[in-house]
Every structure is written in C-alpha cells, then in structure tokens.
Amino acid sequence: MRHVLIIAGGSGTRLWPLSHQGEPKQLLELIDGLSLLRMSYERVRGLVPDENIVVCTGADYADVVATQLPELPAENILGEPVGRDSLAAVAWPAGIIAARDPQATLATVTADHIIRPVPGFRAALDGAFRIAEGDARALVTFGVVPTEANTSFGYLRRGQQIADDPPACEVVEFTEKPDAETARRYLDSGNYWWNSGMFVWRAQTLLDVLGQLRPAVRSGVDQLVAEPSRLAQIYPRLEKISVDFSVMEPVSRGEADAHVVAVPLDVQWYDVGSYQSLAPHLPPDQEGNRHTGMTVCLDSDGNLLMNQRPDSVLAVAGLHRMAVIATDRATLVVPLADSQKVKELVAKVAAEQGGEFA
C-alpha cells in the first residue's frame, strides 16, 4: 500500500522570533490561518488513508502536531528525542512502516514548503508512486522545474529519459547550492532541476540501500523497530547526516544496488525559509505592505509587519522594504533583502542575552 511520511522537524531560526525552539515555523499558523504542517497534510489528504500518514517531528512538538492533525492515529506521530538530520528522520519511520507493511511504497514530503497548484503536486506524487511500485530499485525524487537562477537551492542534473507517463529521467549528479554564475549556467543548460528534498521509494528498498551504504544506521533502525522502548538510548547514536549526502548522492554515482529517478514538479514551489520568502504569501495593502496584528503605516511601502502582541500597536513611518516582527519574546527589525542573516542574529542573541530569547 501507499504511505506518506511528513518530515516536520527543525526550528526554523530564520523566522525568529515568530519561530523559536519551543515553536518551530512549521507549526505556526502563518498563511490563511493554517500552519505549514497542516498545509502539507492537506496536500496528501485522500491520496492515502489517514492511518498511512506518519509525521516525524521533535518529541517536544508531538502534542502540538497531534492537536493540529487530529485525523492521524497517535502512534503515527513519531517524536525524535534529539535531531539527527534528515537521514535518521527518514530511516526510522521507514523501518516502522516496513514492519507494518513489508510491501509499503513510501513518499517522504516536508512540512516547510508552499506548493501551488495542489492538483499538480498530487499528480506528480501519483506518478512517482507508480514508478516506485513498478521498479523495486528506484529511488524517486522530485525535481522542481526552475524559474530563475536561484542560489538558495541544491540542484540535480538529469540524464536520459526513462519513462513518458509520468515523464521521468535518470539523475546523474546532485550539486550543492551554487554561486550566481553557476546557477545561471545550470538554468541556461536546461539539464538541471531544483532538488526538492522529497522522495518516493519502497520502504524496504531504502532499508536495503542503508544496509549497503550506512550499515550502522540500518542496524540502529532495526533495533528501534524491535525495541521501541529504547528510543532515547538508540536514536541519539544514529549518524547525523542528510539523506542527500548519505543515500541519494552515492546511489546516483552507482555505489549501491539502486538508481535515482527524477519526476518533474512543474509547480510553484516555495521554501519558506526567510521573511523575504514568506512575505509574498500574505496579502498586500495599497502600498505593498503586508501585515498581521495591530499595525499602522505612514509613508511606508513594501514592508512586512507582523505584530503578535495583542495589547500594543506596531506603528512605522518612512519605512521601506523592511521586516518588523514583534512578539512577547523579542522584536526584530531587518531589511527584507537581508533576512537570511536572521539565523546568524539568533546565535548572537543567544550568546549575548541568553538562550531563553533565541
């Protein structure tokens, strides 16, 4: 049967102070009263039964996830005792799902993206499922058709086309985030797609590949499945590494008994990783300001103003293309174009003012 794993870990420090260690960005109700997690669930809802949807999140957030997704069985919300990067967050649930359903085909999606239109995503997901169901050794990824020479994403290079319905091709190389010149070359070549970080494979195939490439991780997952009560002891010992570095890149180089296939994701795909990337998803006023909460603007345009303090007003004058974020924890003021610096700023806040503010 088909299953879906939603990865909902991380703290999203680039959206501080809205997101912080106690409330990560994927749980914030930022857009149309919905959290990114809820939007991720709604994208796959109905494609598989609710009992086949699993969420992997931080243990501290498990109760909030359960509240936001009451449709899911309690045992389908898996709480990591510590973060160990994406491989552990993918491999552990895959082991649990394979034990429940040895023939499981598993889609791994993330809870920090905005994808529109949803029907286009659902069609691509169905196509990826069909490939993995028909080819036991396929590790399917989604290549987002690029619209610009973006330097914030990793890329994948396409090889020969291997299927028409859905259109799919081999992946011969994964590359890291490029500089501007390289990104332009990738775009002009027409051979590169953005690496979405979402996958479809047979759960058992992933475990088999781990046995070849990362046997210690495979052994740890097997222990977790056999002895779930030892999660707090076993999970922190799993190797801290990403799926791309540990699985997708070496498989694309022929280092395991599998191969990587890419399906195009020809949609609007947004990684909400900064205030600059969040702003376009909120409605603008006549001056192009986007705001939530009690705010007042004078001679200001192009700003993102978010006020979470119910008993005070956020007022600005003569301000242009800035993000001003006010919460009970902290107030942030940063040019939208520099909002990627927030992560560095949070580290400085923690060092100088204390971790309780970070």
Query: What is the per-residue DSSP string for 156-202?
Result: EEEEEEEEETTEEEEEEEEE----HHHHHHHHHHT-EEEEEEEEEEE
Integer Cα distance of 308 and 330 in angstroms? 10
Q: Give the confidence band of 351 by pLDDT, cuts at 50, 70, 90.
A: very high
Neighbours of 133 (CB within 10 A): 14
Q: Give the confidence band of 356 by pLDDT, cuts at 50, 70, 90.
A: confident
User: What does the pLDDT read at residue 123?
Assistant: 94
List the helix and strand counts (H, then E) for the chain: 12, 19
* Mean pLDDT for the chain overall: 93
pLDDT single digits (tens) 288-331: 999 999 999 999 999 999 999 999 999 999 999 999 999 998 99
Q: How large is the average pLDDT for residues 335-345? A: 93
Residue 19: pLDDT over 80:
yes
User: What does the pLDDT read at residue 266?
Assistant: 83
Q: Give the confidence band of 32 by pLDDT, cuts at 50, 70, 90.
A: confident
Range name among 21-35, 218-232, 337-351 with the lowest pLDDT average: 21-35
What is the share, in percent, of the chain residues with pLDDT greater than 70? Answer: 99
C-beta separation of 104 from 204 below 8 A: yes
Q: Give the confidence band of 214 by pLDDT, cuts at 50, 70, 90.
A: very high
Q: Is the dihedral of CA 242, 248, 254, 259 positive or negative?
A: positive
User: What does the pLDDT read at residue 3?
Assistant: 98
User: What does the pLDDT read at residue 315?
Assistant: 97
User: What does the pLDDT read at residue 327?
Assistant: 95
Residue 25: pLDDT over 90:
no
Q: Which pTM does this prediction carry?
A: 0.91
Q: How large is the average pLDDT for residues 203-229? A: 98
Q: How large is the average pLDDT for residues 97-117? A: 95
Q: Per mean pLDDT, which of 176-180, 227-231, 270-274 is the most reliable?
A: 227-231
pLDDT single digits (tens) 69-91: 999 999 999 999 999 999 999 99
Integer Cα distance of 240 and 250 in angstroms? 16
Residue 358: pLDDT over 80:
yes
Residue 270: pLDDT over 80:
yes
Integer Cα distance of 204 and 48 in angstroms? 19
Dihedral Cα 45, 47, 52, 53, nearest 10 deg:
-40
**What are the tokens at 246?**
């540990």
CA 299 to chain centre: 37
Residue 167: pLDDT over 90:
no
Q: How large is the average pLDDT for residues 187-197? A: 91
